A and B are shown apart, each in its own frame.
Chain A
């Protein structure tokens, strides 16, 4: 399925994400890694501040509702309805990002922004396995 190349909207969206990540660090000294924030809420320890984490996640969840309300546009997305595939994908994303200390936001955005070698290695790794997975499951097996 072909999707439209949207350089300006994507750049602008990226700037908003960056403002959020920079803001979270400057205001409360925390990294805007979504896996980390989910963990702080779901399995808190003494330093987690689960209420603040819950507030951030609540903002994340209401975003498309606010977006549609303000712009009058519907949010377009195409999500696989293959239940087994999405269960496996969800488990791998949750487990892998927890064991690997970060996901696209924690390593890909925050980690690269502070020039962390660990995050550079993690980002190169997950980009490679993700691209290989899409290649195999789309062009090889024709599942996605």
Chain B
């Protein structure tokens, strides 16, 4: 059931990209080219999408669970960090260069433009590399470079780990 719903929602998303003109990199780059051949259409895509999504998320906030699943998975991360700003900055450079972001790149696949067919595998490689880098950094014990590395999660919790002394007491308690 959820697989079918996801298929339809993906189709709806893709139809939105095509209808709005977002699937055309020239239109995206012209939105970004404020001093040149500026095309403000993308602002209307954002306005329409954010208006409807806000209402949907508002409804989600007063419900206890999604219709076909157990929990609403709103992102929990807080705070502005280097990964957020640095990652967004790099993403923006790539978006400006090619005029494609992940949705339109995938939606453009059946149109089989050479640029898209080159872009998508590179993007997937970038996602794989980014995921791998992220996972390695969250497991500092795997990087034995002779440098003390601290996991971002631990740092956020004030560097506290599981209290080892508690675990150490257990055998004594059992012995008593």
Contacts and interface: CB of A to CB of B under 8 A. Distances in A.
Interface residues of B, number: 119
A131 B114 CA distance: 24
A111 B110 CA distance: 29
B18 to A, nearest CB: 5
Contact of B8 (A59, A91, A94, A130): A59
Interface string B58-101: 01100101111111111101111001111111111111111111
Interface SS of chain B: helix, strand, loop or mixed? helix
Interface SS of chain A: helix, strand, loop or mixed? helix
Interface size bracket, A side: 35 or more
Contacts of B134: 98-99
Given A15-B48, A17-B48, A89-B100, A9 B20 contact: yes
B102 A34 contact: yes
A5 B109 CA distance: 24
Contacts of B131: 39, 42-43, 98
Contact of A20 (B10, B40, B90, B130): B10
Interface of A: 1-7, 9-32, 34-35, 38-39, 42-43, 47, 49, 51-53, 55-67, 75-83, 85-101, 103-105, 107-114, 116-118, 121-123, 125-135, 137-139, 144
Given A11-B44, A31-B73, 4 more contacts: A42-B131, A126-B91, A126-B95, A133-B93
16 contacts: A3-B41, A14-B48, A32-B9, A42-B127, A43-B127, A60-B14, A63-B107, A67-B19, A90-B123, A93-B102, A110-B57, A112-B46, A118-B79, A118-B80, A126-B89, A130-B92
